[in-house]
Chains A and B, each alone.
Chain A
Amino acid sequence: MKSGPLEPGGPSRVPPRIHKGNKGVSIMDLVLRAVAIVATLASAVAMGTTNETLPFFNQFIQFRARYNDLPTFTFFVIVNSIVCFYLVLSLPMSIFHIVRSRATFTRVILIFLDSVMLALLTLGASAAAAIVYLAHKGNASANWLAICQQFNNFCQRISGSLIGSFGGILVFIVLILLSAIALCRRP
């Protein structure tokens, strides 16, 4: 890399390395953000449009199930909408990083916001997963009956909407790692 006689006491001269890798990383970042938008939107819609009414009546059991009935699912829908909205807003920032690979301060801000959104998404997804598990299995110790035995369609939808959310979590992890890799490479 460095040729010629060494000069003790002189300023260090490092030839700048031309790195084309950061543009590829930024483009992958943009693509992954688009994937995460689709995943979280699908999750929010799948959970938000649950509405199952049983054809029979009973004195003790609720005969209609919606996501509104459980506050955890309401929280899940809200969180997924917030994360989807944030991802749409962060697309211009991602495009800016493709154009200008040298920006490091904005990348740090993006990592911070991405990690906040990752934590929020994991909060919503895990809480909903705990309730979905309870709905499937019930709990004998607490006398909580499994409601999935009556509400089949409702259970399938809420279980399926979790997949999109967990996929979004994976995408967020990869996004943060990509930003970290782009930070420690010289553009």
Chain B
Amino acid sequence: MSTDSTRIDVAETEMTSREAKGKAPLLADPPGQVDRKSRGFMGLRRHAGRGGGYKRGIAIFDFVVRLCTLVAAIAATATMATTDETLPFFTQFFQFQASYDDLPAFQFFVVAMAIACVYLGLSIPLSIVSIIRPHAVAARMLLIFFDLGMVVLTTAAASSAAAIVYLAHVGNSNANWLSICQQFNNFCQRTSGAVVAAFLAMLGFMFLVVLSAVILKKP
């Protein structure tokens, strides 16, 4: 009699110690009734009733958009940083060489887009962590905070460069600013292309902010 009760006690403590260690119960639970403490490999638990499935899907989409934004940002930086046009003729009054150095708005553009590229490279591991653990709130909040900062930075760089490019194309008769694009064709084309790539990166960042907000939403 005493041995029977001892055996039962041992079996009970074995069950509770397994639970206490945080391992999955020996018998598989039917989906939808997962105990909160059961964990699988690296936190990939069955989330059937808690919305983890669609959050992981959105996190993967977020990662893909991040890669596309990185490509756009690198294209913008590279195109603007390599603009350098020298005209084959000389004039007494006009500058015969144009590069991005000459205009501080373009210098700011190159610096800001370089910062965006570096940030995107650093945030890719964080995004991967967020895919593996879709309910990690701290990683998402960090991503949304920095993505917001990058939206502002990219938009500032793109729009200030766009204002200067517009001025270079059209000029302004009221301020006596001549349009320089008529001489520097290649320069103007390259800077316009860089501005377009920067606007694409800005759209990518805005999309990332909204995706992070949807992931943060508690279902």
Using a CB–CB cutoff of 8 Å, the interface residues on chain A facing chain B are 5-12, 14, 60-62, 65, 69-72, 104-105, 107-108, 111-112, 115-116, 118-119, 122-131, 133-135, 137, 139-145, 147, 169, 173, 176-177, 179-181, 183-184, 186
A143 touches B19 (CB 8 A): no
Q: Are B210 and A112 in contact (CB under 8 A)?
A: yes
Q: Which residues of B contact A (CB under 8 A)?
A: 15-16, 19, 25, 27, 29-30, 33-37, 93-95, 98, 102-105, 137, 140-141, 144-145, 148-149, 151-152, 155-164, 166-168, 172, 174-178, 180, 202, 206, 209-210, 212-214, 216-218
Q: How far is the CA of A162 from the CA of B22 in the complex (A)?
A: 57
| Chain A interface helix/strand/loop/mixed | helix
What is the distance, in angstroms, from B173's C-beta to the closest C-beta of chain A? 8
Nearest A-chain residue to B212, judged by Cβ: A180
Chain B residues whose C-beta falls within 8 Å of the C-beta of A180 in the assembled complex: 141, 144, 212-213, 216
Do B213 and A145 have beta carbons less than 8 Å apart? no
For residue B156, which residues in chain A have a CB less than 8 angstroms away from its CB?
122, 125-126, 129
| A141-B176 Cα distance, complex, nearest whole Å | 14
Say yes or no: A104-B217 contact (C-beta < 8 A), given A14-B36, A127-B159.
yes
- Across the interface, do B149 and A9 meet the contact criterion of CB distance under 8 Å? no
B-chain residues with CB within 8 Å of residue A6 when the two chains form the complex: 16, 19, 35, 37
Residue in A14, A112, A123, A142 whose CB lies within 8 Å of B155: A123
Contact between B105 and A133 (Cβ–Cβ < 8 Å)? yes
Assuming A134-B164, A183-B217, is B25 touching A8 (CB within 8 A)? yes
> How far, in whole Å, are A55 and B27 apart by their CA atoms in the complex?
92
Q: Does A11 lie within 8 Å of B213, measured CB to CB?
A: no
In the complex formed, the residue of A with least CB distance to B34 is: A12
Among A14, A61, A104, A130, which residue has its beta carbon within 8 angstroms of that of B105?
A: A130
Do B178 and A143 touch (CB < 8 A)?
Answer: yes
Partner of B176, one of A11, A125, A145: A145
Question: What distance in Å separates the Cβ of A181 from its nearest Cβ neighbour in chain B?
Answer: 8
CB pair A62–B218 under 8 Å, yes or no, is no
Minimum C-beta distance from B207 to chain A (A): 9
Residues of chain B with a CB closer than 8 A to A71's CB = 166
Q: Closest Cβ of chain A: how far from B174's Cβ, in Å?
A: 4
Report A126 CB to chain B, min CB distance, Å. 4
Contacts of A140 in B (CB 8 A): 95
Q: With A8-B15, A123-B159 given, is the CB distance from A147 to B175 under 8 Å? A: yes
Residues of B within 8 A of A61 (CB): 176
